[in-house]
Structure 1
Amino acid sequence: MTFVPAFLVLLHLLAAAFWVGGMAVMHFAVRPAAVAMLEPPLRLPFMAAALGRFFVGVSVSIGLSLATGVAMIMLAGGMRQLHWSVHAMLALGLVMMAIYGHIRFGVYPKLQRAVVAREWPAAAGRLNLVRRLVALNLALGVLVFALAVLGRAL
């Protein structure tokens, strides 16, 4: 593999690792620690702020994943030239992006508004929806990594 394709793969993997790894950290470490240590009036604004910061990185990761993915597809000669596992990874990635879009532009603004209004039950409900959608996206992300590693063997 020459430098350009290898560099595209590196950027693509770093973007995916940030997104999927970040979801794992938020889901399995940050949220449980916040629940254990903070009461709702502190926990909900903290989680909203943490998610806001994470979403900036996720947005960059998505843009980078799309750009490098399209570049790699073009370098390979188009989708017809690629193994079915690449088609599956692209489809799952697009589903993940749609879920992220729903979280970021649908659920999260409602969470922010509820936090600002100090409507803790409403904020907790929105945060719980974010948690469930992140869990789904995390599972899809792990599946994408599995396809990336094992796809050609299947």
Structure 2
Amino acid sequence: MPLFPAALLFLHLLAAAFWVGGMAAMHFSVRPAAVATLEPPQRLAFMANALSRFFFGVSIAIASSLASGLLLVWTMGGFARVHWNVHAMLGVGLVMMALFLHVRFAPYPRLLRAVAAREWPVAAANLNTIRKLVVVNLALGVLVFVLAIVGQAF
């Protein structure tokens, strides 16, 4: 594989690993640890802060993944020349991006406002909404990895 496509693929995989792996880490490690050790006011403030940092990285990962993926398709001759699984990965990835944008611009700002106002039940409800949407996005992210690896066989 020539250097340019290899570098694009590396960037693409790195971005995907950060995003999907980060969701897994937040859902299966950070959140349960926060629930086990922090009272609701501290836990909600902690999670809002952790999500702020994570969402910044996800924004970079999304831009990197989309740009590198489209450039990879271009180096292969365009969408007419790539395997069906590339189309499927793009479709699922766009759904994931839409879900992230919804989380980032709807329940997340409400979480921040509720934490700042010390409205703990409202903050908890918004964090729970984010948790549910992250589970959906995590499942979709795993599906993208399956499409990338197993999809080549079909």
Cα deviation, residue 57, structure 1? 0.3
Equivalent residue, structure 1, for 2:145: 145
Equivalent residue, structure 1, for 2:136: 136
Cα deviation, residue 11, structure 1? 0.4
One-letter amino acid matched to 2:131? R
Q: Distance in 2 between matches of 1:130 and 1:35?
A: 15
Q: Distance in 2 between matches of 1:152 and 1:15?
A: 20
Q: Distance in 2 between matches of 1:81 and 1:3?
A: 20
Structure 2: stretches of 5+ with no match in the other structure: none
Equivalent residue, structure 1, for 2:121: 121
What is the correspondence of 1:78-117 to structure 2 with a 5 Å cutoff?
Answer: 78-117=78-117
Percent identity, aligned pairs only, is 64
Q: Distance in 2 between matches of 1:62 and 1:115?
A: 27
Equivalent residue, structure 1, for 2:20: 20
Q: Distance in 2 between matches of 1:12 and 1:6?
A: 10
One-letter amino acid matched to 1:85? N
What are the Cα deviations for residues 63-118 of structure 1, in whole angstroms up to 9, with x where unaligned?
00011011011111111111111000000000000000000011100000000010
Q: Distance in 2 between matches of 1:132 and 1:58?
A: 17
**Corresponding residue SS for 2:70:** helix
> Which aligned segments of 4 or more residues in structure 1 are displaced greater than 2 angstroms?
none
One-letter amino acid matched to 1:139? A
One-letter amino acid matched to 1:93? G
Structure 1: stretches of 5+ with no match in the other structure: none
Cα deviation, residue 152, structure 1? 1.2
Cα deviation, residue 138, structure 1? 0.2
One-letter amino acid matched to 1:56? F
Q: Distance in 1 between matches of 2:75 and 2:85?
A: 17
Cα RMSD between the aligned structures? 0.5
**Does 2:84 align with 1:50?**
no
**Corresponding residue SS for 2:118:** coil
| TM, length-normalised to structure 2 | 0.99
Q: Distance in 1 between matches of 2:51 and 2:61?
A: 15
Q: Distance in 2 between matches of 1:148 and 1:7?
A: 17
Residue-pair matches, total: 154
| TM, length-normalised to structure 1 | 0.99
Q: Distance in 2 between matches of 1:123 and 1:11?
A: 35
One-letter amino acid matched to 1:108? Y
